[in-house]
Structure formats: structure tokens, C-alpha cells
Structure 1
Amino acid sequence: MRIERILCPTDLTVESETALRYASTLARAYEAQLILMYCQPDSPDKSDAKVPGNAAELLDATLREQATAAELDKWRWQSKVVNCDDPTDCITREASRYGADLVVMRSRRRPHRAALLGSVAESVSRTAPCPVMVIHSDERDWIEGHGRQIGLKRVLVAFDFSDHSEQALKLGLLISQEYQAELHLLHVLPPFTLNEPEISWYPLGSEGVYHKAARRLQKAVPDEAHLWCKIKNVVSEGQPYREIIHYAERNEIDLVCIGAQGAGFGLLTLFGSNVDRVLRQAPCPVLVARPLKHARKSPSDLIEREASAPAVPMPENVARASLS
């Protein structure tokens, strides 16, 4: 798995440190550049009262808590304050601008009424130009060794045979191979499918819905994948998001990989898609698979873009740290 650049948006609260811990551990494991970003509201009425003092100084201090000066210099980790009023648009734009391979961000557990409005993490998962990993502060943790080791043991891929889920399967296979984790491949049939009268009997030579889905799951995974990780295929029935969440809880899944639906309209968007509901309720981090929509950028390209971009005022010592 190739990760060269990770973008980690933060609101500089204590709760957002969980996402930064994951982002910094992944960046260290892949020797990737980490960009810690804070979206500072332009409008005075949208200013964040939770952030006291200078945001750039706080951002820089937060980053330095995650790595030594030598590590910051070696991997070119940096902090960035961006002025904007729309965090979703800001995060998506900066991810594309920096050529990020992964966005790691925190999402709050939202009450049912508030969930109708969605969250920034859900919106970014629909529009980002790269995969998005969503973290909650009260979920199963797989960062070990004081933030230095990745302890993934079980990865769940929600698979519905669509192009979106194919992207999720590719990521799930790469991650499972890299960390020798179990790969659980789950397909959910519509409710009551297995209780239909014709399911109990089939003409000679025909195949039932359950067996057809199980056979397609087996064919979805390359044969060689069985050589380096244990794979478990599961077919269940019900509401997809509920089955995914319940399976993750029962089997102590460490990471759920799911395909992105993209921007949607109508009732599905209003009341939340399966992806949105999994993001809100999953007992572990969720990786929303999205294809890369930008060319990979070299460090020299980024330096040139940084030099031509409008500078955000910050203290001199912070500016030196960002360029180091």
C-alpha cells in the first residue's frame, strides 16, 4: 500500500487528538508527509470560541507533541491554517492541492435529530479526491506502543458487487496483506430474501440467492490472497448498515472498509445513506474508499505551490517549522 501524503483536519479540541494520533502513526509507518490543517472561519460570527489564542501557534505545538524535531524534518510534517467558512469545501480543496493519498479526520457521535443535517466527515467522505478514514474517540483502538505500532487484526469489507465496493475490497486486501490481518468479506441481501417461498425449493440445476452471492464473494477475492491472510466470506440478510455494524461488534473488527456512494439527492441524502450511518455508529474506525482524483505530487512540486500560494500570517518561529 502506497501512502506518501496524509491530510489531518483538526478543530484543535482534545477530542480531535484521536484522529491526529492515528494520522501520525500511519504517517510514521509509511514514512509519509503529514499535513495538520485547521480551518479558520473568515466570518466573525462563525469564529470558533473553543480555540483560544493564536491558532497557528496551537496547531504547531499540537504537531510537535506527535513527533521529534528530527522526525518533523525527515518526513516534512507541517501545520497549515486555512481561512474559510465551509470546512467541507476547504478540506476537499486542500486534499487535492496537496495531492493527499489519505484524509484522516474525527467525527462526533451525533443524536438522531442532528444526524439529519449530516457532519463534515460525512460530507468530506462523499467529495474527497482520495480515501477518507473517519475516527471516533469512543471506539476500538488499534494503535499500540505509545502511537508507534499498528495492531490491526481483523478488517471488514462491506461488499455489494458495485464499483464503489470494489475500491473498498482493493484497500481491504492491501491492508490485510500488509498487517497479516484477517479479512472478513460481508455481503448483505435485502430483508426477507431468504424467507421467500421459492427459496426453499429450486428446479434442478438452478442456484439460490444465498449460494449465488456466496459464490460471487469467493470469486471476488484473488486466489493468491489466501496465501498471505485468512479470508472469511459472509452472506447475511437485513438492512446493510445494521448488519455491518452488528457484524463489526460481534467479531471485534478493527477497521471497516466501505465504498463511497458519492453525492446523492432526494430522500436517501436527507435520511442518510448506509455509508453515513456506518460512519456514525461503527465501533471502530471506518475507511471510505475513494479513487485518487489527482496526480501524485513530488516534494519539489509542493514547495513551488507553497511559494506561490497566499501566505497565512503566523509567528516567525512557526513559519520556520512549517518550511523545515
Structure 2
Amino acid sequence: MTILCASDFSLSAEPALAAAAAIAQRVKGQDLLLVHALDLLDPALARLDLDVSRDEAEVRLGEAVARARKISGGIVGSAIVYGSAASAVTELAELRHAELVVVGSQGHGAQPFRRLGGTSERIAQLLEEPLLVVRDAAPFEAWVIEGRPLKVLLGIDRTTSWDAALSWINRLRGAGPCDVIVAQVYYPADERRHYGLPPGHAIDRVDAEVESLLVRDMRERALLSGSGHVQFQPVLGIGRLGDHLVDFAKRQDVDIIALGTHHRHGFARFASVANVTLHYARASVLLVPPERVVSTVKAPRRILIAADLSPRSGRTIAHGLSLVEGRPDADVVIMHVDEQMHADPEEALRKFVPAASVERVRIIVARGADVARLVCTEAERIGADVVCVGSHGRSAVARTLLGSIADQIVRECERPVLVVRSKES
């Protein structure tokens, strides 16, 4: 496997070289390839003899290889590519199946009008491999030489876009200690709606009730392995997500900000969290695009079963209970949304619960017309690992005319949903 480090021989390239060599030394099985791009369309290069420029680049690459070997202690190669730095480095990374591309950048935090970005930002737009943009090599060198933990901020949200970034952090933690802060920017009004909490909290004040639910969910989703401390921190948001992450990273004095990325183009990229962070952050930035990673999830421990009072509910409840069979610590909640004001729906539902499971089951009865929304909200409030719903197996025409609560839950719920069919297809 290859770590590719691009160098233009500038002052900002040296920290990238040292960081790439340090990672290659720690993460075993990684070769290091140092790359320099000669852009034949560059007016400055056009005035020089190409052979002279290439010979000079080879000499400087050789010197860089010697410096890198002292740190990594492993195999270090070099290559000269032709074309614009962003395009040439991206193409070589794909050709060599690079596991990580490392570049240097000073960032533009003190120059807000330089918004179009430099080479590192253009590489980030094109690259399909993980990219580490290094501001300072000292934390990486201390990680290798002194065993000092790297301090990493992992930015997450409700999507799975950060799964690959989490996977890379776990690789680093397997190679050496990394203290990780898992951070999620939140907006009180949105989160209160999401968790089904009453509105009215001030948008510019910390919401302790929301933060406790966020920390619970962050702990269950961000499964970290390896060595080092872990902290889960909701971050109150008012403006752009990226600005809040950059400010929080600065206050926490982190070494690396790690983010998942989506490749955005045109005006959309200027507001993306990754682009804002890469442009303004003073810390090094690790951007990891989605990839085919083996995800890690815990066995389900908290099940929400949505049930009506029809005979089919027994089958739905049985499937829900089977998910936590042999797990005495599991929490099973049966939820019924009573639209018709039945006399005692809880008693009717208990008849579907096997005697051996009665003690572990809680029954919730809600009132309202929007059944799917109430179920999805309750799933978030209790932090359900799986939502189990029954389907009456209507035909496509019937679903179109009447709608389907199960279909709506599948579309709207952000938790995994198990649909139990009661009619053969």
C-alpha cells in the first residue's frame, strides 16, 4: 500500500513530507512515494529548459527522499509527473491505488478574500482517495518520536458520510495513541423537532436536554477502537456548520480535523463543511470520501415495535422480540398510536406479548393522526437501534390510493427499519 506525498519544494511542503513519513513509520505496511509535478503550461517553466528543470527536480526529490527515510525507516520512492499539480497528483494517486495523499498548505484563515483556494483545495475537489492537508508537522513527529497522542476532532452528523473518516481514525489509533473529540454541530429548534421535544428553547443558548440525547446517539454511532481518550461534544450552532467546526477546533487546539466529504462543484462547494474547514482551519485537515468500508455496528439493544390492535401485530411483536433474544439487558418498547380512542389499548397489546417477555417490555400509547411521524419521533427520542413495523401487504394500487404507514416510516425514519410482512407477495 502507498502513501503519496506531493511536494512543490516550498516551505509548506516540508511539514507534509515529515507528516507523511511519520504516518508511514507508524502505520505498518505502507510505502511512501514523493511526487513533484512539472506543469508544462506554467509560464515560468516555459522560459526554462525542460531537461534542466527535470534534472533539478530529481536532485531535490532525492534530497527529500533521504530526509523522509530518516523518519519512516522504510521504503521511500519518488516520481515526477507532468501537468497541473492537482490533475497530475490525482491521476497518479488513482493509478497507484494510494491509501492516502498528503499535501502541505498554510491555509487562508487570515486572508478571507482568498476564497478560490490553492492547489490543496483543487486536489480535494478531484481526489477520490483520502487527503491529509498538513499545516504543522510537529504533532506527527511527536507522535512517532515521543509517543505523544495526536489530538483529533471528528466532525459527524446524522448521515453516514463520516464513516470512512472514522475508519481512518481507527487505523491511526491502532498505530499509535490518538485522543479523539467527536463533535456534532446542532441547532436547538431542529433537534427539538427531531426528538419530539416541545419547542420554545432559545436558539442561541445551550440546550442541555438536546445535548444529552445527542451524546447518547454519538456514543452509539461513533465506535472507536485503538488507544487514546474519547470525548463526545455537541456544539451549539447558529451560522454555518464549517465555521463552528473551525472555531471549536481552534478552541480545543486539535492537531487534525477529520471529515467525510462529498464532491461538490460550482457554487455549492463554497458552502460545504469540508471546503470551509479546509480553507480556514489552522489545524491539519483529513478529508475522507465515501468508500467501501466494513462498517461496525453494535448488536441491537433497544427495539421500538410499532403495533396496531389487529391480529397481525402478534407477528410483528414476535419478530421484534427475536432481535434481542438472549439479551436480558435489552430494552423493548411497543408503541401504539391510538387514532380511534380505544378503551384500553395497552391491555389489548399485552395479549400479544409472550409471558416470558412481559417484564422486559414497555408499552407506549400515543394520540394523534400522523402515525408515521409519531413513530419516527419516538424512535429518535428513545434512541432505537431498530424500528420494527408490520405491513398488511397491500397491492401497489392500494398503496397508491390509501398510502401505507409502513412505507412512510421506511422513507422518513433515520433508524434501521425491519418491515414484517403479514401477506405473501
| Residue 217 of structure 2: aligned partner | 216
Deviations 1:172-193 (A, max 9, x none): 2332344233221101013765
**Matched ranges for 1:182-261 at <5 A:** 182-190=179-187, 198-200=199-201, 209-222=210-223, 225=224, 228-238=227-237, 239-261=240-262
Aligned residue number for residue 105 of structure 1: 103
- What letter corresponds to residue 268 of structure 1 in structure 2? A
Between the two proteins, what is the percent identity of the paired residues?
18
1:264 aligns with 2:265: yes
Q: Which residue is 2:35 aligned to?
A: 37
Secondary structure of the residue aligned to 1:151 is: coil
1:160 aligned to 2:157? yes
Match of 1:47 in 2: 45
Instruction: Please give the residue correspondences for 1:107-122 in structure 2 after superposition, counting only pairs within 5 Å.
Output: 107-110=105-108, 111-115=111-115, 117-122=116-121
Supply the AA of the counterpart residue of 1:67: R
Q: 1:14 matched to which residue of 2?
A: 11
Give the CA deviation at 1:127: 2.7
Q: Does structure 1 conserve the Cα–Cα contact (< 8 Å) formed by 2:258 and 2:286?
A: yes
Note the aligned Cα RMSD (angstroms).
3.4
Amino acid aligned to 2:113: R
What do residues 264-289 of structure 1 show as CA deviations (whole Å, max 9, x unaligned)? 33x322x3422122112323211111
Which residue matches 1:89? Answer: 87
Q: Aligned to 1:65, which of 50, 64, 67? A: 67
> Structure 1 140/245 Cα, relative in aligned 2: closer, same or farther at 3 Å?
farther
Aligned residues: 274
TM-score, normalised via structure 1 length: 0.73
Name stretches of at least 5 consecutive residues in structure 2 with no aligned partner.
203-207, 293-425
Q: Deviations over 1:27-51 (max 9, x none)?
A: 1223421111011011252529999
Change (3 A) 1:268 1:49: farther
SS in 2 for 1:112: coil
Corresponding position: 1:128 with 2:130? no
Distance 1:11 1:37 in 2: 8
When Rg is computed on C-alpha atoms for both structures, the one with the higher figure is 2
Quick one: distance in 1 between partners of 2:27 and 2:169?
Answer: 17
Aligned-pair CA distance for 1:64:
1.4
Summarize the Cα distance change of 1:283–1:140 in structure 2 as closer, same or farther, 3 Å threshold: farther
Distance 2:287 2:149 in 1: 17
* C-alpha distance in 2 between matches for 1:215 and 1:161: 13
Change (3 A) 1:242 1:94: same
Q: What is the identity, as a one-letter code, of the residue corresponding to 1:236?
A: V
Cα displacement (A) at 1:216 = 1.9
CA distance change for structure 1 residues 227 and 167 in 2, over 3 Å: closer, same or farther? closer
Which residue of structure 1 lines up, in the alignment, with residue 177 of structure 2? 180
> Are 1:194 and 1:210, in contact at CA under 8 Å, matched by a contact in 2?
no
Cα separation, 1, equivalents of 2:85 and 2:164: 26
SS of aligned partner of 1:23: helix
Alpha carbons of structure 1 residues 48 and 243: separation in structure 2 relative to 1, 3 Å? farther
TM-score, normalised with respect to structure 2: 0.57
